[in-house]
Amino acid sequence: MSAAARQAGTPGQRYTVMTLATSDVRPHESAEYWAETVTSFHCPFDVRMPRRAGSGFRGRAVRQHSPSHQYITWQSDECLVRRTPRQVRSAPFEDYRLIIPHSGELLVGQAGREARVRRGQAVLASMNAPLEMWQSCGARMSVLSVPWHGVASRLGLEVTAEAVDATSGLGRIVVDTLGRAYQERDHLGTTEFDAVCERAVELLCMVLAGDDRPDPEGHRRDVETAVRHHIRRHAHEPGLNGQAVAHALGWSLRYVQLVLQRVGTTPRDLIREERLHLARARLESPEHRHRSIGDIAQASGFSSVGALSTVFRNRFGLRPSDVRASPLPPAPARRPRIAVPRPPVRRHGGRHLERSTHHWSGVTLELARWCADPAGEAQVDLTDHVLFVTLAGTTEKTEARIEDGQRYDGADFPGAVTFIPAHRRRLARHEGGTIDYAMLRVRPERLHLPEDARGSLEFRGFTNRPDPLVHRLARELRAEALAGSPHGELLVDSAMTMLSRHLVRQHSTLGTPPDTPDATARTATVLAGSTLARVLDHVHDELAGDLRLAHLAEVAGMDLHHFSRAFRAAVGLPPYRYVIEQRIRRAADLLAGSDLPIAEIAHRVGMSSQSHLTTAFRRATGATPKAYRLARRDPSRA
C-alpha cells in the first residue's frame, strides 16, 4: 500500500497535499484499502461496495490538509458509507462535513431527513449523529471538514443533512472558492489554505442563516425579547406554537428559530418552560388550592395531566402532586443590588466590550463579551463557588491553572466550562479572539448537599472542559436574566437543585468514576439515588434511539445481571418495561397535542414501526393510537 505525498508551500509549513489511489494496491485489496482511507480521513464508518469481479474497486482521492482544515476531492465506484449509532456513541466526533458533488449523484440521510444532491448543490452533514450516504458509480465529489465551533460560534444551531443551493449567490461563491483552492493546491501554504477554508465556512454560515450579511446584534435581541414576551402572555393557549408566534409578530418561523438558536433555545422549549413555570406557580399558590391538577394543566396550556406530569418531573425532579402536597418555602427576599459587592476578579490586559450583572438570592450572574487583544490575564479568588461558561467565540490560546493542580493549555471554545470551588484560586491567560461568557457565582449554602456529607464533601475543580448540563443551565439563566421574567427565583431554585446534584455526582469526593475497581459495588448501593437519576435521564433523552439493556447497564457502570435486579428493586419494573411505558406515555402526549402522522410519532418515540406502536399502545391503554387521538379531541367518541 503506497501513497504519493508532498509538502506544499515553503519549508517548515504544515500544509500537505496527498494523493491516494486504489491502483497502488492489488485488486482484491482495493475495497479494504478504500474503506481504511475513508475512516482515516474522517472518523469510524462502515463502508460497503458492490462486488466487482476482476478489476476490484476503483477510487482516487486528493487530500489537502493543515492542522486546522481538510479538503478532499475524490472519484470512485459506487459505495455506501454509514455512521452507525454505536459508532457515534463509541467514537464521538463533533465536526461537520460539507459535501459537494461535481458529477454523479449523492443520497444523504440523517435525523429522518433525506437529501438527493447533484451538481449545483451541496449538503452539510454532522458527524455526531447517525448518517448514511450513497454515491453513484464514477461520481466525483469534494468534502470540506467544518469545525463544530466554526458553525456554533456563528449560528449556535445544530445542523443535520442541510441542503445548500450552489447554483447562484453565496452558495456558488463557496463552491467556486473551494474549487480554486483545489486547482491551486500546489501553490498554497498553511496560512493561505486556512484563510480560504475559514472564509468558506463564514460564507456557508451566511447561506444557512438565509441572509447575505451578518444579522445586526441589536435587532436580534429585540426580536428575542418580543418572542419571549409574546410567549409569556400567551403560554396558557393550547394552540400556541412556533408558527403561531412567528405569524403574530410578523416574522418567518425560520428567522424566529434562528434568533432563538443563537441563544441556545427553540420556540418549543420556551413555550414548554413558560407553561411549566405557570403551572408550578399555580400549584404552589393558595389561591388555586380549590382547582384540580388536571384543571391547572389545561389552564396552563398542557393537553393533559399526563403531558404536564412527564415534562414537570423531567424539569423539576418532582411530580405535580408532590409540589401541591409539600410546597416549597418562599424564596428568601432578594438582596438589593447595591448591597452585592462586585466579585474580586482581577484582570490585566484585554477589555470588556459588553458587561452586565444580574442578582438573585445567593446567586450572581455576570454576562460579558471580552476581547483578548491585547493578551489578558485574569485571577479569581473567591469564597463562593464559581462557574465560567464560554457561550460563543474562541481564543487563539488559553492557559489556565486551578490551585488544586488542574491545568489547561489550548484554545477556548464554545461550551467550555470551568468550575472553581470556593476558596480556590484560578489563574488564566488568554491571547487573541473574543468570547461571550457567563460567570455564575454561587454561595456555598445555596447548593443543596446531602445532610450526612456536608462536613466531609469536597469539590474537585476543573478548567475548560465540555459540560453540556452546566452549559445549558447557563444559557437558561442568561435568557431569563435578559427577559426579566417574574419567575426568575423559581428558575434559579430549580437550576441550583440540578447543579447541586450534578456537581456532587460528577465533581466531588462522593462521586466514583465508572472505571474504578469498586464502581460496580458502590453504584449498586446508590442506584435509587444518583445512579438511578443518571439512567432515567438517559432513557428520557434517548427515548427515540436504540435503547438496549447493555447500554443502560454501561451508563450505570454495572454488569447486566446486577443492573437489572437493582433497577427493578428501585423502580418496580424491569428496564425494558419501563422504557416501553415511557414510550407509550410520550406517544400519548404527541397524539393528543400534535397533528403528526402516527408513523412519525412511532419513529419519534423509538418504536420500530407504526404497527409496533399500535400493538404496544393497545396493550397498554386498551385503544389504538387513532382511537385515542379521536377520543381526546372529541370526548363523545370515547
398 contact partners, CB below 8 Å, separation of at least 6 = 408, 409, 410, 411, 412, 428, 429, 430, 431, 464
Dihedral sign for Cα 267, 213, 252, 599, please. negative
Over residues 120-156, the pLDDT tens digits come to: 888 888 888 888 889 988 899 999 988 776 665 555 4
Over residues 515-524, the pLDDT tens digits come to: 333 433 333 3
The mean of the pLDDT values for the chain is 77
Over residues 554-608, the pLDDT tens digits come to: 788 776 656 777 777 777 677 777 788 888 888 888 988 888 889 889 888 888 7
3-state secondary structure of 253: helix
Contact predicate 128/152, CB 8 Å: no
Q: What is the 3-state secondary structure (H, E, C) of 269-321?
A: HHHHHHHHHHHHHHHHCHHHCCCCHHHHHHHCCCCCHHHHHHHHHHHHCCCHH
pTM across the whole model: 0.38
**Most distant CA pair in the chain: distance in Å?**
83
Predicted local distance difference test score (pLDDT) of residue 405: 61
The dihedral formed by the CA atoms of 212, 217, 218 and 219, expressed in degrees to the nearest 10: 40
DSSP string, 581-594: HHHHHHHHHHHHH-
DSSP string, 315-365: HHSS-HHHHHHSPPPPPPPPPPGGGSPPP-EEEEEEEEEEEEEEEETTEEE
Contact predicate 348/374, CB 8 Å: no
Max mean pLDDT range (94-98, 440-444, 470-474, 529-533) = 440-444
C-alpha cell at 23: 491502483
Instruction: Say how many residues make up the chain.
Output: 638
Q: In whole angstroms, give the CA distance from residue 180 to residue 169.
A: 17
Other beta carbons within 10 angstroms of residue 519's beta carbon come to 16
Mean pLDDT of 521-550: 67
Tell me the pLDDT band of 73, cut-offs 50, 70 and 90: very high
Which helix (DSSP H) or strand (DSSP E) does residue 379 occupy? strand 363-381
Domains in the chain (CATH in brackets) are: 16-209 (2.60.120.10), 232-324 (1.10.10.60), 350-507 (2.60.120.10), 529-633 (1.10.10.60)
Query: Is the confidence at residue 462, as pLDDT, over 50?
Result: yes
Mean pLDDT of 323-329: 55
3-state secondary structure of 135: strand
